Amino acid sequence: MTKTSLTAALFAAALGLSGCVTSDLERAGIGAAAGGVTAAAFNGNVGTGILIGAAGGALCDDIGFC
């Protein structure tokens, strides 16, 4: 499995699990982990990935995504 495929699979798994949690804080934690792992896999800024992932996880139910 290539690095990109593995990263995509991990991100999809984290996104799927984010629907199982009930609070914005739990979804933000899962989003932060997924964002950090994705940023690290693509040699990006991990801190920025964590912030974007946390915001996306916390807000995904507000926009009807999860």
**Residue whose pair of structure tokens reads 């801190």 in the numeric block:** 47
Place of tokens 């899962």: 30
User: What's the whole-number mean pLDDT along residues 38-46?
Assistant: 88
Q: In b/e form, how buried is each residue of 36-59, taking b as 16+ CB within 10 angstroms?
A: bbbbebeeeeeeebbbbbbebbbe
Quote the pLDDT of residue 42: 86
**Looking at the domain assignment, is residue 22 inside a domain?**
yes
**55 pLDDT tier (thresholds 50, 70, 90):** very high
Residue pLDDT, tens place only, 19-28: 666 788 888 9
Q: Which domain covers residue 16, as residue numbers?
A: 3-59
- What would the two tokens of residue 66 be? 């999860």
Domain assignment present for residue 18? The answer is yes
What's the pLDDT score for residue 26? 87
User: Residue 29 and residue 47: Cα distance in Å, rounded?
Assistant: 14
Would you say residue 48 has pLDDT above 90? Answer: yes
Provide the domain count of the chain.
1
pLDDT at residue 51, rounded to an integer: 93
Whole-structure pTM value: 0.68
